[in-house]
Structure 1
Amino acid sequence: MKLWIKRSLWTLLAVVLLLGGTAYYQLRSMGVFPRYDYDTVPPTLPTFSKPAVLVFTKTNGFIHKDAIPVAKRVLGKLIAEQGWEAYLTDNAAVHSPELLEQFDFIIWNNVSGDVLTEPQRAALKQWLESGGGWLGIHASGGDHSYLWSWYGDTLLGAQFIGHTMHPQFQDADVLVADDTLAVTDHLPARWTVEKEEWYAFANNPRDKGYEILLTLDEDSYRIKGENFFGNDHMEGEHPIAWRHKLAEGRVFYSAIGHQPYTYELPMYQAFLVKAMHWVRGAAEPQADAEAVASDEGGE
């Protein structure tokens, strides 16, 4: 083989390896490849002087790099406005019987992948069934890599199967499932949310007796059906937020929240605040009419 051909082949191989390595690093940094990083040393909690809320963010799966920090800031602000105290951590070892007892309720903020050890799973399950409250947001219910069947089958009640693609982010109409509920009475019957990523699920939690709060109008966005990225379509009703009682506890899930600016929408903030009060076991507060009126998404 001629020398110039050998050099060309070696150069081509080097380029392929370089591009492949770069692509792998980028995908890994996004969390496309599941990790199995488990925390075993619990954090030292401060002394709380107010009702305490755990805001937990750990990503062993896809990392919502833009949404997570904004959600942390917004959730911290909303929690403080209710007169509570937020404790933010990505240390999963906070899920112990002793530490969970110090919180009024917990929020899983875009948690992804399998994050809890067996003892931590048992602690969360026991705490919830004994009267705790759990609010899950977006990726906390949109992941294939959870290894805990109870989490998907019972806590969430639905298995994520995909989201919108081509384009990934689209305007869509969110519909209020029951306009008599306090948690959604500040929303218009048809609420347009702009440039979000919309999840689909393998089953409707309503079939398990869970209370559906918000649904998607599939005619309002572009559906591709089954594709490489899963499925963005559901037969019949397409729920996007729901809640249910779990023994003595309360569970609330909202699939809305991929984009950072979604957390800035007054209507969504009011929805999250009402969700917090409900999982805490209290009546949902009335939304600030002037604040939600400024939300252009509801116009």
Structure 2
Amino acid sequence: MALFLLPWPAVADDAILVFTRTSKFRHDSIPVAVDTLRSLASEQGLRVVHGEDSAVFTGEGLSAYRAVVFANTTGDVLDEAQQAAFKDYIEGGGGYLGLHAAADTEYDWPFYGELVGAWFHKHPPGLQTAKVTLHGGGHEGRQWSITDEIYNYRRNPRPWVQVLATVDEASYPGGTMGADHPITWCRPMGRGRSWYTGFGHDAAVYADPHVRALLRRGLAYAVGTSPHC
């Protein structure tokens, strides 16, 4: 069932689309993620349109949004025409922000693999408490601990992205990426922007002030109000 009940606005410079369609595992934390994004976006003078109808992924539909958030999407969520429209949107100057299972999405679409930076590989069972280290942007070396599901990725994205946070695999069991385990990163894509964090499986992390601070940075970068992520 489509969640979008009103016609798409022709111009909505203050709007971001939070897209939560899933075709595989569905996270219980999705409603909390949407509420958190709505609150953080409001701080930046932005409003959130939330939905799961992929029919919005056309040139006209996407033109209404400054950025699109894939919030715990999973599996194949766009058809080929929708993929083409989203690629054009990003390369033409649109923004993308991915949360957690956004990396467990669109495995058969190479452009999306570059957009998200790295696809999900596996994760240890249950939640892990891991030490996080921030990098760049005046935050270099700042650390804290988080309890969440910590993804291992199919590749280390560092050669293609700017890494903003890493997790220390010595601080929890089940990491497979070694001494360099990125968990949050960003990159330009054509004239557009991409920002991703692996945090966001557990609903409780959305109340973590460190995660909220990261998401504020990600939103500002994705919508283009900050040149720095």
Q: Are the structure 2 counterparts of residues 109 and 217 from structure 1 closer, same or farther at C-alpha, using a change threshold of 3 Å?
A: same
Q: How does 1:179-258 map to 2 (within 5 A)?
A: 181=137, 185=139, 189-194=142-147, 196-208=148-160, 210-223=161-174, 232-258=175-201
CA deviation profile, 1:229-262 (whole Å, cap 9, x unmatched): xxx4113411101110111110001011100010
- Alpha-carbon distance, 1:191 to partner: 1.2
Which segments of 5 or more consecutive residues in structure 2 lack a partner in the other structure? none
Secondary structure in 1 aligned to 2:122?
strand
CA deviation profile, 1:92-114 (whole Å, cap 9, x unmatched): 11111001111111111101010
- Alpha-carbon distance, 1:148 to partner: 1.5
Matched-pair contact (CA < 8 Å) for 1:134–1:250? yes
CA deviation profile, 1:165-220 (whole Å, cap 9, x unmatched): 2xx10211011133xx05xx3x87221012x1000112111123x11111110000
The residue number in structure 2 matching 1:52 is 15
Matched-pair contact (CA < 8 Å) for 1:274–1:284? no
CA deviation profile, 1:48-102 (whole Å, cap 9, x unmatched): 666111111101111002x101011111111122111111101111111001111
Secondary structure in 1 aligned to 2:183?
strand
Larger Rg: 1
Question: Which of 129, 147, 157 is the equivalent residue of 1:171?
Answer: 129
Matched-pair contact (CA < 8 Å) for 1:57–1:111? yes
Question: Residues of 2 paired with 1:43 and 1:242: CA distance?
Answer: 34
Q: Are the structure 2 counterparts of residues 90 and 43 from structure 1 closer, same or farther at C-alpha, using a change threshold of 3 Å?
A: farther
Identity %: 35
The residue number in structure 1 matching 2:44 is 82
Question: Which of 91, 97, 115 is the equivalent residue of 1:135?
Answer: 97
The residue number in structure 2 matching 1:113 is 75
Q: Are the structure 2 counterparts of residues 50 and 151 from structure 1 closer, same or farther at C-alpha, using a change threshold of 3 Å?
A: closer
Q: Are the structure 2 counterparts of residues 60 and 246 from structure 1 closer, same or farther at C-alpha, using a change threshold of 3 Å?
A: same
Secondary structure in 2 aligned to 1:64?
coil
TM-score normalised by L of structure 2: 0.91
Matched-pair contact (CA < 8 Å) for 1:48–1:85? no
Residue 78 of structure 1 aligns with an amino acid whose one-letter code is L
Question: Residues of 2 paired with 1:89 and 1:64: CA distance?
Answer: 15
Question: Residues of 1 paired with 2:218 and 2:9: CA distance?
Answer: 25
Residue 111 of structure 2 aligns with an amino acid whose one-letter code is W
Structure 1 outlier segments of 4+, above 6 Å: none
Question: Residues of 1 paired with 2:98 and 2:11: CA distance?
Answer: 23
Residue 122 of structure 1 aligns with an amino acid whose one-letter code is A
Which segments of 5 or more consecutive residues in structure 1 lack a partner in the other structure? 1-36, 224-231, 286-299
Question: Which of 104, 108, 125 is the equivalent residue of 1:147?
Answer: 108
State the number of aligned residues: 227
Q: Are the structure 2 counterparts of residues 43 and 175 from structure 1 closer, same or farther at C-alpha, using a change threshold of 3 Å?
A: same
Secondary structure in 2 aligned to 1:62?
coil
Q: How does 1:27-66 map to 2 (within 5 A)?
A: 44-46=7-9, 51-65=14-28
Secondary structure in 2 aligned to 1:261?
helix
The structure whose residues are more often helix, as a share, is: 1
